[in-house]
């Protein structure tokens, strides 16, 4: 089966699921889960871990599965609408899943190419923890100070990258 055929199958399946959702046959949260599974299936059909580039199907698949799972849990009132930390935890877990399923296995890659999913995973999970702390303790302090912490972190990482690239040029 060619990649074009596989892509065509994915589009037909996504279009059919979207049509059934618009007709009210499939609930919206189930559509998100089906679409996420479709992207994950396409990841497998396109070779999975055989090529690093196939991660482009796994990322939206995992993110859609996380959002769909969150929506399904919310619509069935398993989790409350007032606890936003769960949403960001689910997104963080989706990036952790990308790392565990795909990038972890490419040992020949440099650190950045191999471990990049851990950075958004950690950031999203940290944000989820702060939202949960705020919700439990009814405390606004962590989120108000986050506006300044993110700016400081961005500036700090930028300076670290600039200084690191200068050191690499000097050592070359």
Q: Provide the mean pLDDT of the chain.
A: 84
Average pLDDT over residues 47-75: 89
Residues 84, 167: one domain? Answer: no
Residues 115, 133: one domain? Answer: yes
Average pLDDT over residues 7-27: 84
User: What total of structural domains would you count in the chain?
Assistant: 2
Residues 17, 62: one domain? Answer: yes
Q: Where are the beta strands (DSSP E) in 5-163?
A: none
Q: Which residue from 68, 45, 69, 72 is spatially nearest to 58, judged by alpha carbons?
A: 45
Residues 97, 156: one domain? Answer: no
Residues 148, 124: one domain? Answer: no
pLDDT(94) > 90 = yes
Residues 104, 165: one domain? Answer: no
Give the domain range for residue 109: 3-139
Q: How much of the chain, in percent, has pLDDT values that exceed 70?
A: 88
pLDDT(140) > 70 = no
pLDDT digits (tens, 9 = 90+) for 95-130: 999 999 998 888 888 888 889 999 999 999 988 888
Interatomic CA distance for residues 172 and 169, integer angstroms:
5
Residues 146, 134: one domain? Answer: no
């Amino acid at each position: 089966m060619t990649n074009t055929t596989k892509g065509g199958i994915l589009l037909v399946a996504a279009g059919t699921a979207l049509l059934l959702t618009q007709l009210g046959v499939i609930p919206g949260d189930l559509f998100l889960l089906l679409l996420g599974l479709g992207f994950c299936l396409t990841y497998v059909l396109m070779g999975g871990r055989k090529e690093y580039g196939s991660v482009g199907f796994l990322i939206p698949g995992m993110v859609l599965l996380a959002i769909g799972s969150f929506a399904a849990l919310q619509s069935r009132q398993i989790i409350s609408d007032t606890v936003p930390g769960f949403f960001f935890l689910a997104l963080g877990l989706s990036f952790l899943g990308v790392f565990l399923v795909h990038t972890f296995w490419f040992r020949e890659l440099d650190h950045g190419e191999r471990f990049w999913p851990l950075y958004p995973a950690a950031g999203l999970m940290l944000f989820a923890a702060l939202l949960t702390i705020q919700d439990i303790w009814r405390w606004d302090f962590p989120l108000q100070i986050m506006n300044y912490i993110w700016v400081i972190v961005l500036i700090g990482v930028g300076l670290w990258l600039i200084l690191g690239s200068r050191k690499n040029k000097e050592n070359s």
